[in-house]
Amino acid sequence: MRTVDPAKHEAKRRAILDAATMCFAEKGFEKTTTAEICRAAGISTGSLFHYFPNKRAVFVGIFEQDGDETAALIAAAEEIGDPWEAILHVVGYVSEQVLNPLAAKLVLEVAAHCARDTELAELVQGNDRALRDALIGLVTRAVEAGRIDPGIEPGTAASWLVALIDAPLSRVILDPDLDPAAELAVMKTILTRFLRPVLPISPPPGGEVSDTGGISPG
């Protein structure tokens, strides 16, 4: 009896989802055919239906995979000792995904489908809640560690962080010449000023940090 190699099975499934992501982003769910997904993935129709029963299942699978990637991101962030650096890691990673033009188009496509597909809406909302809850935890840790403004309310801060991440979506679609690296740099500046991280001050040679945070001569 032939057994299925779990690693190979998962790799093939991911390859199909990656190909489908490009198709759905470029043409939308309704106009994309299973034949086009198969061509993009380099597989037969029979092979596609071995992994997914229909086109909707492929579409839903993309966001199930997104949930898995969010869980892995959160787990990696929780291993970072400095909660401020962990926040930057999460926001930077998710922002890079959002600044991908294909990803931005896919977000608009799924938003339209969520209005009439309750199951898909719950899946996408669950992914969003997982990200927000993780950010609440990181902000709480950062406040307790004295790394960011102690006046920050974690829940409100997390909601604004998610909003900040989502903000470039429309710009990415409308401006094909957008520079992702430049956008990420500005986002990090905004984030830093918003949370006002408390950074250690190293006195220059011969000086010491005064009670007011300035440098006084030794």
Q: How far apart, in whole angstroms, are the C-alpha atoms of residue 83 and residue 51?
A: 39
Q: How far apart, in whole angstroms, are the C-alpha atoms of residue 169 and residue 178?
A: 11
Sign, CA torsion 52/55/58/60: negative
Task: Judge whether residue 177 has pLDDT over 90.
Answer: no
Share of the chain above pLDDT 70, in %: 89
- Position with higher pLDDT, 98 vs 72: 72
What does the pLDDT read at residue 202? 52
Q: What pTM value is reported for the model?
A: 0.80
Contact 134, 157 (CB under 8 A): no
3-state DSSP: the chain helix, strand, coil percent, rounded to 5?
Answer: 70, 5, 25
Q: What is the mean predicted confidence (pLDDT) over 117-125?
A: 94
Per-residue model confidence as pLDDT tens digits over 10-31: 999 999 999 999 999 999 999 9
Return the minimum-mean-pLDDT range out of 41-55, 97-111, 123-137, 198-212. Answer: 198-212
pLDDT band, residue 4 (cuts 50/70/90): low
Contact 208, 216 (CB under 8 A): yes
Q: What is the mean predicted confidence (pLDDT) over 208-214?
A: 41
Task: Judge whether residue 35 has pLDDT over 90.
Answer: yes
What does the pLDDT read at residue 182? 86
What does the pLDDT read at residue 174? 76
Task: Judge whether residue 59 has pLDDT over 60.
Answer: yes
Per-residue H/E/C for 121-136:
HHHHHHHHHHHHHHHH
* Eight-state DSSP code of residue 14: H
Domain ranges of the chain: 56-195
Q: Which of 10, 58, 13 is nearest to 35 (CA)?
A: 58
What does the pLDDT read at residue 199? 63
Tokens of 69: 């990637």
Contact 77, 95 (CB under 8 A): no
Task: Judge whether residue 8 has pLDDT over 60.
Answer: yes
Q: Which fold has domain 56-195?
A: Tetracycline Repressor; domain 2 (1.10.357)
